[in-house]
């Protein structure tokens, strides 16, 4: 079955960077875009950006431009989210999600990776 498995929780200090992975299985990795969505504690869902695993092209949310980088490794069917210059406001659960194609929608989602930014 189609599955996205994310890396484990991270604790970072303000100003540091974090890199979260999302390993895809059960389908052709290069056939579907992967998005990243985050959710601060007790808050709603915020779209961060998208990567095309086929060519590596990306589109990022404007508010994160300059701090966010999405990459992929086709040999391991893994996409990565790197966020730099971390602030306390970046404390959140980070999810990857596949655009399953046809009418665009997120399905499935990864299990989430909690990133805590604290001094």
Partner 1 sequence: DIQMTQSPSSLSASVGDRVTITCRSSQSVDNYLNWYQQKPGKAPKLLIYAASDLQSGVPSRFSGSGSGTDFTLTISNLQPEDFATYYCQQSYNTPWTFGQGTKVEIK
Q: Catalog residues that contact partner 1 under the rule CB under 8 A.
A: 35, 44-47, 50, 59, 61-62, 95, 99, 103-112
Measured from the CB of residue 93, what is the shortest distance to partner 1 in angstroms? 8
Separation between Cα atoms, residue 2 and residue 90, nearest integer Å:
29
Measured from the CB of residue 62, what is the shortest distance to partner 1 in angstroms? 7
Measured from the CB of residue 64, what is the shortest distance to partner 1 in angstroms? 10
- 113, 82 contact by CB (below 8 A): no
Measured from the CB of residue 16, what is the shortest distance to partner 1 in angstroms? 25
DSSP state of 81: E
Please give the structure tokens belonging to residue 67: 């701090």
Residue 84 or 112 with smaller CB distance to partner 1: 112
- 36, 93 contact by CB (below 8 A): no
Residue 73 or 99 with smaller CB distance to partner 1: 99
Return the SS3 of 118.
Answer: coil
Residue 75 or 103 with smaller CB distance to partner 1: 103
Residue 13 or 41 with smaller CB distance to partner 1: 41
Separation between Cα atoms, residue 104 and residue 118, nearest integer Å:
36
């Amino acid at each position: 079955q189609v599955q996205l498995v994310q890396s484990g929780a991270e604790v970072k200090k303000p100003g540091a960077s974090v890199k979260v992975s999302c390993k895809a299985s059960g389908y052709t990795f290069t056939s579907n875009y992967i998005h990243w969505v985050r959710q601060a504690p007790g808050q709603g869902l915020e779209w961060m950006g998208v990567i095309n695993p086929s060519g590596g092209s990306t589109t990022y949310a404007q508010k994160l431009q300059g701090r966010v980088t999405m990459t992929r490794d086709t040999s391991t069917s893994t996409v990565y989210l790197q966020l730099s210059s971390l602030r306390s406001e970046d404390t959140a659960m980070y999810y990857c999600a596949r655009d399953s194609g046809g009418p665009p929608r997120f399905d499935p989602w990864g299990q989430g990776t909690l990133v805590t930014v604290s001094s």
